[in-house]
Amino acid sequence: MPVSIRELPEWPSDIEAHPLLVIDYQLLKEGNKAEIERLWDAGTHLGFWYLKNYGAEQDFIAMWAMAEELFKLPLEEKMKYEQGDDGMSFGYKAIGRYIVDAAGNPDPVEGVDIAKDDALSYPKISRRSYPGVVGDLMPPIITPFVEKCLGITDTMIDIFNDKLELPKGTLASVHQRNDFSASETRTIKAPANLTPGKLAVGGHTDFGTLSLLVNNLGGLQVLPPGTTEWCYVRPLPGHLICNVGDTLTMFSGGLLNSNIHRVIPPPGSQSKYDRWSQVYFSRPSDTAPLKPFLESPLIAEAFNKLTPERQKALSPGVPSYEWHTRRQKNYRTNNHKGAETWAANRGTENGRA
């Protein structure tokens, strides 16, 4: 079994971790104004925060058990369900299929992504098929996981909607649960004893709206705005790590910050263990055009102050699926041609003021 977050080897005392705001999900649900302000503060500055009292820790950990069963299958069997090089992110991801830097170095992690649409429509296939173990574990593990994550992301999306002074339900209207989207679960396993300094996941901003994350070990790092030093984010038992993705930055005219992050081997003695990570990516409906909601005076004012280059980066105007497919495609090792492919898988960090 993956080493659980509750049996973590001690965080090394000489390694500093970046402080994130701790937001209480139950207080958000109750409409607590001070907590909502703190969420806004986190979303508009670092773009990362801890979320406690979210009521789904076991659901995240159960996903590791699901993936562990899947990863045990022969490679030949798993490869029948690989994501492929056409820009789809659903399915199995074999080691080495994503690039981690502009030089095109391959990643060392194994992963599996399951579409929100497949989890909700099971046993009907909406987007693609998966190995049998995914079907077996859909009703007891995967679908309940997706349902819980939808509850959490919908709550925070509505709060951001209101803080952005958008008409009620504007952001929700482009994140409807029954609209097809690139929303998905992602389970990643990075092997123990990676070479120190090796990248497990290269520096990136997340493609979608909000990401929910549980790690059993450290290794995630953020580059806080205005700095040049990568800082660890320490996994805390009972706390989700949440972050803003690019599409929320675009919808908000840059007010909400999708911050750059990466994954390196876990610090200190933690590096002797396999690193498991479970993410839920909330992403807009496939057909939603990516541009700021300028009907909010707050968003319009913020957007108008940006440089033309940054405005262009935040207003591609293309449907969400097109943006996602382009980035995903250029992430694939087989499609790597040079530094331009790396640039093409980048997101709103381009043109950042």
Ligand X SMILES: O=C(O)CCC(=O)C(=O)O
- Interacting residue ranges for ligand X, rule: CB under 6 A: 186, 188, 201, 206, 213, 215, 220, 261, 263, 277, 279
Residues counted in the chain: 353
Q: Which residues bind Fe ion (CB under 5 A)?
A: 206
Q: What span, in angstroms and rounded, lies between the C-alpha atoms of 29 and 39?
A: 12
Q: Which does 205 bind (CB under 5 to 8 A by kind): Fe ion, ligand X, none?
A: none
Dihedral sign for Cα 147, 97, 99, 235, please. Answer: positive
Residue nearer to ligand X on the CB measure, 78 or 186: 186
Measured from each CB, the residue nearest to Fe ion is 206
Whichever of 184 and 206 has its CB closer to Fe ion, that residue is: 206
Instruction: Report in angstroms how near the CB of residue 111 gets to ligand X at its nearest.
Output: 8
Q: Which is nearer to Fe ion, 207 or 293 (CB)?
A: 207
CB 223 within 8 A of CB 230: yes
Residue 120 to residues 142, 149, 172, Cα–Cα distance (Å): 9, 12, 18
To Fe ion, the closest distance from the beta carbon of 207 in angstroms equals 9
The partner in contact with residue 213, picked from Fe ion, ligand X, none with C-beta cut-offs of 5 to 8 angstroms by kind, is ligand X
Nearer to ligand X, 38 or 283 (CB): 283
Q: CB within 8 A of 339, min separation 6: which ones? A: 102
Closest CB to Fe ion among residues 107, 206: 206
Cβ burial of 121 (10 Å; 0-12, 13-18, 19+) is middle
Instruction: Kindly state the smallest distance separating residue 152's Cβ from Fe ion, in Å.
Output: 17
Helix ranges (H only) for the chain are 25-29, 33-44, 57-71, 75-79, 116-121, 132-137, 143-163, 170-173, 246-251, 297-304, 308-314, 320-331, 339-344
The strand pairing partners of 220, in sequence order, are 263
Indicate which of ligand X, Fe ion, none lies near residue 189 (CB less than 5 to 8 Å, by partner kind). none
In whole angstroms, the minimum distance from the beta carbon of 300 to ligand X comes to 30
Which residue of the chain is nearest ligand X when measured via CB?
277
Classify 303 as helix, strand or coil: helix
C-beta of 261 vs 327, nearer to ligand X: 261
**Partner interacting with residue 263 (select from Fe ion, ligand X, none; CB below 5-8 Å by kind):** ligand X
- Least Å distance, CB 204 to Fe ion, is 6
